[in-house]
Structure 1
Amino acid sequence: MDTDWARQELAHFLELTALYRPDDPPGVVTISSRLSNRGPSDDIVESAQVVEQILDRVLPRWRTEVSDDRNKRVNRWCQHREAVQRADVALRREAEIRERLGDNAPLISAATMHPWVWEGARALWQSGHFREAVTAAARKVNAEAQNKLARRDLSETKLFQIAFSQTPAKPGESRLRVGEDDGGDTFRSVNRGAMAFAEGCFAGIRNPNSHEDGLPELPEHEALEQLAAFSILARWVDRATVETA
C-alpha cells in the first residue's frame, strides 16, 4: 500500500466531513443535535468511495467494530470519521507498534492474497464470520478451476485429482499443468504436489469447516492461515496452462 497517498486521502475526507453547527436563521432557534459537514455532499460521497477501500485494507472490520450509534443522531459520516482517524493512526504508527509489541515479523494481509480468495471471503470476513469466509473462498477457487477446465460435473477433491493427473489429457478430460512441461522430474514433482496440496485443502480445511455442525468460530489468525493455503492453490490454478487431447 502507498501509505503516504492513503493518509492524504484520509486527511482529505476528514477535511470535507469536518462538523459544525450552522447558524440559525434570523428569529429562529433550532434545538437539534445534528451537525453539518464543511464540504459539499457530492465531494464527500466521491471521497468516501476511495476511503472505504482504504479502510477495508487497514481495518477490515471497521463497519462492525466502530460504533455507528451517533451516526443517526449527529451526522451520517460519524462512523466513517472515527474509522478514518483510527486508520490514520494505524498507518502512521504501524512500524512503531510492530516493533514495540512484537518481534517485527512480516505480516500477511488477506487483501494481498489471490483475488479469487479475497473476493470470495471479503463480505463474511468483514463481519467476523471467519470459518464461513474460508469456505466461501474455497468455493470460489473450486468454481474458477471448473471454469478453466470446462468441467461442471466434478468438484473439489475429485476435480483437482483429474486436473493435476500425471496421465495425458483425454477427450473431454483436460489437465492443468503448472510450469513448462520439459519432461523433467521438477515438472512432474510440482504437479504431483499441486494435486496433493489441493486434496489437503479441500479434505483438511474446506470439508470440516462446512460439514461439522457446532464448531466454534475460528480465531482470525488461523482463518488467515487457511485463506493463505487456498491463495497458493488459486495462484497455481490461475497460472497453469490447460492441456487438451
Structure 2
Amino acid sequence: MRFGKRTTSEVQAAAQITEQILDRVLPSWRTADWEEEARRPLWRHHEAANRAISLLEAEQELQENLGSGAPQLDAATLHPWVWGSVAGLWSSGHFREAVGAAARAVSVQSQAKLDRRDASEAKLLGDAFSTNAPVSGHPRLRLSTDDGGDTFKNRHDGAGNFARGVYSAIRNPIAHEEGEELEENEALEQLAAFSILARWVDAATVETA
C-alpha cells in the first residue's frame, strides 16, 4: 500500500518518530477527544502534529518576545542514572513518580558501586561519604585524596549532608505521603538535585579497609 509517494513501511517508520515527539509535546494526544476525519489514514497523527506545531510556534514566539534569556535545563543532559530511569514516566506526565524513580535509581547504583545491600539511600551515602577511614563492611566514596586539609573534609561532609538532605526532604515525602502531582519545573529541579548526587557517586573512587 502507498500513502502518496511513500510505502506503508516508510510511513510506519516515520510515525514511530512522530509519536515520540508528540508524546513529549502533547502527552494526551492518543486519547484526546477530537473529531475523526473520515477516510483519512493516521488522522489522529495528522491532527496531533498540526496542534503540536502550532503549540511549539506559539511557545517560541512567546519566548522570543517575553523570555528572560536565561539558560534552560535540558532534562536529557542529566546524569544517565537519573534521566535513563525516568524518561518514560516523564513523557507521560508522571513527574512525582519520576522523581521517586530517580531517587531509587541513584540508591541502587550506589549500592552496586559500594557492594553493599545492608543500607540504602541517605544512610548508605551518609556513611560512604564519611571522612573516617574505611572499615570492614563500610567502604568510603572519595571525591579527592585526603591531604589532611579542610577542602577534603568540607567536600565529603557536604556530599554526605547533601545526600541526607535530598532523600529526607524530597524522596521520603514522595514515598510516604500522599500528594498532588508535581509541577513540571519543580520536578525538574528535584531531578537535577539527584543528578548532582549521581555525578558525585559515579565520579568517586571506592576506598576499602
For this structure pair, what is the TM-score category when the shorter chain's length is used for normalisation?
0.7 to 0.9
Contact (CA 8 Å) 2:3, 2:11: kept in 1 or not?
A: no
Change (3 A) 1:48 1:65: closer
Contact (CA 8 Å) 1:141, 1:230: kept in 2 or not?
A: yes
Output the amino acid matched with 1:75: P
Give the match for residue 197 of structure 1: 162
Change (3 A) 1:89 1:62: closer
Give the secondary-structure state (helix, strand or coil) at the position aligned to 2:97.
helix
The Cα shift of 1:94 comes to 7.0
Give the secondary-structure state (helix, strand or coil) at the position aligned to 1:176.
strand
Give the match for residue 111 of structure 2: 146
For normalisation by structure 1, the TM-score amounts to 0.72
The Cα shift of 1:165 comes to 0.9
The Cα shift of 1:232 comes to 0.5
Give the match for residue 75 of structure 1: 41
Contact (CA 8 Å) 2:27, 2:93: kept in 1 or not?
A: no
1:233 maps to which of 192, 197, 209 = 197
For normalisation by structure 2, the TM-score amounts to 0.83
Change (3 A) 1:102 1:174: same
Q: Percent of counterpart pairs with the same letter? A: 48
The CA distance in 1 between the partners of 2:10 and 2:113, in whole Å, is 42
Give the match for residue 224 of structure 1: 188
1:104-139 deviation per Cα after TM superposition (whole angstroms, max 9, x unaligned): 211112221111111222222221121111001100
The CA distance in 2 between the partners of 1:71 and 1:163, in whole Å, is 60
| Alignment RMSD | 3.1
The CA distance in 2 between the partners of 1:178 and 1:36, in whole Å, is 57
Give the secondary-structure state (helix, strand or coil) at the position aligned to 1:60.
helix
Give the match for residue 116 of structure 1: 81
The Cα shift of 1:185 comes to 1.6
Contact (CA 8 Å) 1:164, 1:177: kept in 2 or not?
A: yes
